């Protein structure tokens, strides 16, 4: 059987959302795959499912289907596409509990957080259902009376999407919803750790009436092989990737031969700055939200916490006191705030960052160790006395570790905050309005949270600068990534 009781105790075997195949041209299929790969529950290490290990051949088949289906989809009136997306949104909301159970099982995040992610993912579908009707062009005053000039927007065509495991539902809809809304067709490749959520979303997309071939899902263990086909196939006109900067670079190189359009949402190394005049309790709440959500496995996670000398000790004590109350465990258990890390490799990285910091003089205020037994858990951690020589200053830890750096002046902290090749998210807490503006403008990041630790929403442009990426997702700007601009000049009128 493709699904084990480790999964079916959370999601009934009869659930229509459990699929053990990819989705190509409206059919659930393994294609020519002869091998399978396992999907694990990181909280227990148990196998949840075995799925067909699809590769380049199946990807090609899906691309052909998308290529054939895209013109008719693009030709549908925007209002019709919008209506279908709206149905998909309604279905996601109606089935949020089942979708959240699948998500917690394969990814580990606490059930309440998983449910929150499903609603967040659905919100992108709702937003782009609305935006589909507002893909406006423009008219331009002509240089002479016998000419008329306009700009129209058209879908780029077939889009290949590649997404990570940390938000198995939201990363998918953030790309698929705008692509479908403007008339593109998609071949989606979810992370090999979390394919079940993507398949469940495809079930609902089918129910909503998204036509065969317009949305395809390839499941497989060999990301590089699938990625190569998506980047190398001339029928694919655009790649949209979320994941590590390292893989983003590979994809950008692979897209170079055909000058293929590419959007990249890559790694971050977010600074989180607390100034002396900040509301300290609000700053602690912001740090908890930004740092420990998803066990610290988000690209916009506070990675380096800079605290001004005057409030350093008080902030550290307040934060540690709150962190100590966070329950670690299986995301299905009530009251759990910190689930497992995705795998042993992720856990080993967090452990090595903490060990490196301690060996160079940092102090563990709370946490600091792996939880023995099944699953890949790490206790939520606060480190003090952290300096820029430590790994936590340069690399994305991707775990529940808050390293606290001490600083004295605004100039100094801005220089340290910007001293990274990344530029995704930054946060700061301050009172003085002049300082707020100065700091917000000086931070070299695509997104800045001011007196808040949470800023992601479908209505705002999400994305980074420097080596954190290209393009934006969400908001009206997110649709532009899937559109081509065409200038029409009519003479002799």
**Closer by beta carbon to ligand NAD, 90 or else 222:** 222
165 is a site residue for ligand NAD (CB under 6 A) = yes
**Closer by beta carbon to ligand NAD, 171 or else 284:** 171
Site for ligand NAD (CB under 6 A): how many residues?
26
Span of 35-43, 45-53, 80-88, 157-165 interacting with ligand NAD by CB under 6 A: 157-165
417 is a site residue for ligand NAD (CB under 6 A) = no
- In 3D space, the residue among 302, 301, 315 whose CA is nearest the CA of residue 272 turns out to be 302
CB of 413 to ligand NAD, least distance (A): 23
State the Rg of the chain over Cα: 23
Token duo for residue 392:
């936590």
CB of 293 to ligand NAD, least distance (A): 12
357 within 8 A of 367, measured Cβ to Cβ: no
- How far, in Å, CA of 34 to CA of 29, rounded? 12
- Which residues are tagged catalytic? 265
137: alpha, beta or left? (left if phi > 0; alpha if psi -120 to 50): beta
Near ligand NAD by CB under 6 A: residue from 16, 224, 361, 431: 224
Within 245-284, the residues that bind ligand NAD by CB under 6 A are 247, 250-251, 265-268
Binding track over 166-205 against ligand NAD, x by CB under 6 A: x----------------------x-xx-------------
Neighbours of 273 (CB within 10 A): 26
Binding track over 317-346 against ligand NAD, x by CB under 6 A: ------------------------------
3-state secondary structure of 207: helix
163 is a site residue for ligand NAD (CB under 6 A) = yes
Tokens 């001490």 belong to residue: 406
Token duo for residue 467:
């080596």
Q: Which residues pair with 40 in a beta bridge?
A: 47
**Secondary structure of the chain: what % helix, strand, coil (to 5)?**
40, 25, 35
242 is a site residue for ligand NAD (CB under 6 A) = yes
**Closer by beta carbon to ligand NAD, 84 or else 179:** 179
Within 461-490, the residues that bind ligand NAD by CB under 6 A are 464, 469
Tokens 């792996």 belong to residue: 370
**Closer by beta carbon to ligand NAD, 197 or else 242:** 242
Within 358-397, the residues that bind ligand NAD by CB under 6 A are 396
232 is a site residue for ligand NAD (CB under 6 A) = no
Token duo for residue 242:
């979320």
Please give the C-alpha separations between residue 407 and each of 277, 305, 310, 414, 424, in angstroms, as whole numbers: 14, 10, 9, 10, 22
294 is a site residue for ligand NAD (CB under 6 A) = no
CB of 24 to ligand NAD, least distance (A): 18
237 within 8 A of 157, measured Cβ to Cβ: yes
- How far, in Å, CA of 419 to CA of 227, rounded? 32
Near ligand NAD by CB under 6 A: residue from 195, 227, 380, 474: 227
- In 3D space, the residue among 148, 189, 154 whose CA is nearest the CA of residue 22 turns out to be 189
Q: Which residues bind ligand NAD (CB under 6 A)?
A: 162-166, 189, 191-192, 223-224, 227, 242-244, 247, 250-251, 265-268, 299, 396, 424, 464, 469
């Amino acid at each position: 059987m493709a699904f084990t009781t480790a999964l079916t105790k959370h999601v009934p075997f009869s659930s229509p959302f459990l699929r053990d195949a990819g989705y190509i041209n409206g059919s659930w299929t393994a294609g020519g795959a002869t091998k399978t790969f396992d999907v694990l529950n990181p909280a227990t290490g148990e196998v949840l499912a075995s799925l067909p290990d699809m590769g380049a051949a199946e990807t090609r088949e899906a691309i052909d289907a998308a290529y054939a289906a895209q013109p008719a989809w693009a030709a549908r009136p925007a209002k019709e596409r919008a209506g279908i997306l709206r149905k998909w949104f309604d279905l996601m909301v109606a089935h949020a509990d089942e979708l959240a159970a699948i998500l917690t099982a394969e990814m580990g995040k606490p059930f309440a957080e998983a449910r929150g992610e499903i609603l967040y993912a659905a919100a992108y579908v709702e937003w782009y259902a609305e935006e589909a009707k507002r893909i406006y062009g423009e008219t331009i005053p002509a240089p002479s009376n016998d000419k008329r000039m306009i700009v129209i927007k058209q879908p780029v065509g077939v889009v290949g999407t590649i997404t990570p495991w940390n938000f198995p539902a939201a990363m998918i809809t953030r790309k698929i919803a705008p692509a479908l809304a403007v008339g593109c067709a998609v071949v989606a490749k979810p992370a090999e750790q979390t394919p079940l959520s993507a398949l469940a979303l495809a079930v609902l997309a089918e129910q909503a009436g998204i036509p065969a071939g317009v949305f395809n899902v390839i499941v497989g263990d060999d990301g590089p092989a699938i990625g190569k086909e998506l980047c190398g196939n001339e029928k694919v006109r655009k790649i949209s990737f979320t994941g590590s900067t390292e893989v983003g670079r590979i994809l950008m190189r692979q897209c170079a031969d055909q000058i293929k359009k590419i959007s990249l949402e890559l790694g971050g190394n977010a600074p989180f700055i607390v100034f002396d005049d900040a509301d300290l309790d609000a700053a602690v709440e912001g740090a908890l939200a930004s740092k420990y959500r998803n066990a610290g496995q988000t690209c916009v996670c506070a990675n380096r916490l800079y605290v001004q000398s005057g409030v350093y000790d008080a902030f550290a004590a307040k934060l540690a006191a709150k962190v100590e109350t966070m329950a670690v465990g299986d995301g299905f258990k009530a009251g759990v705030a910190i689930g497992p890390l995705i795998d042993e490799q992720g856990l080993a990285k967090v452990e090595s960052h903490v060990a490196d910091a301690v060996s160079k003089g940092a102090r563990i205020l709370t946490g600091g160790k792996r939880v023995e037994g099944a699953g890949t858990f790490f206790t939520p951690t606060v480190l003090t006395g952290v300096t820029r020589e430590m790994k936590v200053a340069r690399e994305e830890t991707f775990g529940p570790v808050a390293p606290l750096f001490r600083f004295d002046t605004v100039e100094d902290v801005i220089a340290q905050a910007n001293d990274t090749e990344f530029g995704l998210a930054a946060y700061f807490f301050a009172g003085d309005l002049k300082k707020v503006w100065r700091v917000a403008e000086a931070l070299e990041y695509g997104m800045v949270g001011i007196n808040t630790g949470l800023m992601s929403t479908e209505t705002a442009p999400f994305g980074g600068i420097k080596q954190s990426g290209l393009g934006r997702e969400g908001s009206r700007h997110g649709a532009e990534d899937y559109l081509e601009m065409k200038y029409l000049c009519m003479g002799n009128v």
